[in-house]
Amino acid sequence: HHCLAIANCLNRIINLHLIGVTMKTHLTKVSSNKKTGPIPVTTSSRETCPDSCPLKKNGCYADNYHLGMHWDKVTEGARGSDWSEFLAEIKSLPRHQLWRHNQAGDLPGLGDNLDVVKLAELTKANKGKNGFTYTHKKPTERNLRAIRAANGGGFTINLSANDLAHADKLASYGVPVVTLLAEDSPKKQRTKNGRLVITCPAQLSDKINCARCGLCANADRDYIIGFPVHGTAKKKANIIARAVA
């Protein structure tokens, strides 16, 4: 209990520091990305990404030319809103609107630190909407508690795995999971522990996008969704995805 109290205190100090940094979050009301389709998508500052993510500056698709430049602008504070403005933007989305949080960036908080207060605020702002996202932040007990609460509150957060073995481990926490897949992966496969992995339908057909699919927004699904490596740095990402051979 004493250690947990110290950890919570440190997290508060880190997040108070972040208020000084005033990280921005940007909402694109209608995405022009053919994979997501014309739904709202957001971008969070680079500082939200944990150093523990093996894709950080090492094969992340979000570093692709156009998205990477936009991400830099948000990180520099040239684009985007402060947190309270951002929450108001989410609240104003149409009822039942499917939207993707973070085409680039991670949940609020510096690196692996999760700002549980901001996450609870975002979950509340999403009430009546259909928001979903992914996180590479470490699945600590504290983080998992907040992530489970968000999922229970209607804001779907998928834990992001780096390979199939990692996906098995993350799935044991009882929250939705997605995973990186090697480039030549089959449409359906199973992990070593027998969990079903289906490849993202939008990566298999140009006729399907997030707007039409919505599988990642379903927190109650009993299968893992796989994303074959893509982007300009997919060779690096492919090495990570093949970690379980």
How does pLDDT run across 129-171, given as a tens digit for each residue? 999 999 999 999 999 999 999 999 999 999 999 999 999 999 9
The percentage of residues in the chain with a pLDDT greater than 90, rounded to a whole number, is 70
Q: What is the pLDDT of residue 88?
A: 98
Q: For position 174, what pLDDT does the model report?
A: 94
Per-residue b/e over 110-132, b at no fewer than 16 CB within 10 Å?
bbbbbbbebbebbbebbeebbbb
How far apart (Å, rounded) are the C-alpha atoms in residues 39 and 33? 9
For residue 43, what pLDDT band results from cuts at 50, 70 and 90? very high
CB atoms within 10 A of CB 106: 26
d(CA 44, CA 107): 8
- One DSSP character per residue, 186-238 reads -SEEE-TT--EEEE-GGGT-TT--HHHH-GGG-TT-SSEEEEE--STTHHHHH
> Is residue 22 pLDDT above 90, yes or no?
no
- pLDDT for residue 233 is more than 60: no
**Helix 116-125 / helix 141-152 crossing angle, nearest 10 deg:** 10
**pTM of the entire structure?**
0.86
pLDDT in the model for residue 35: 86
CA distance 25 to 105: 9
Of 9-18, 30-39, 230-239, give the lowest mean pLDDT range.
230-239
CA dist 41 and 138 (Å) reads: 23
pLDDT tens digits for range 208-217: 999 999 999 9
Measured CA distances, 147 to 1, 52, 158, 224 (Å)? 21, 18, 9, 17
Q: Which two tokens stand for residue 106?
A: 């991670």
Q: pLDDT band at residue 28, thresholds of 50, 70 and 90?
A: very high
Question: Reduced to 3 states, what is the DSSP secondary structure of residue 162?
Answer: coil
Beta strands in the chain (DSSP E): 25-28, 41-44, 98-104, 130-135, 156-161, 177-181, 188-190, 196-199, 224-228
Nearest to 44 by CA among 109, 117, 90, 99: 109
* Other Cβ atoms closer than 10 A to 183: 13
What's the token pair of residue 138?
């470490």
- 54 pLDDT exceeds 90? no
pLDDT at 33 over 90: no
Predicted confidence band of residue 230 (pLDDT cuts 50, 70, 90): low
Answer whether 244's CB lies under 8 Å from 165's CB.
yes
pLDDT band at 118; cut points 50, 70, 90: very high
Measured between its terminal Cα atoms, the distance across the chain in Å is: 40
pLDDT, tens only, 170-208: 999 999 999 999 888 899 999 999 999 999 999 999 999
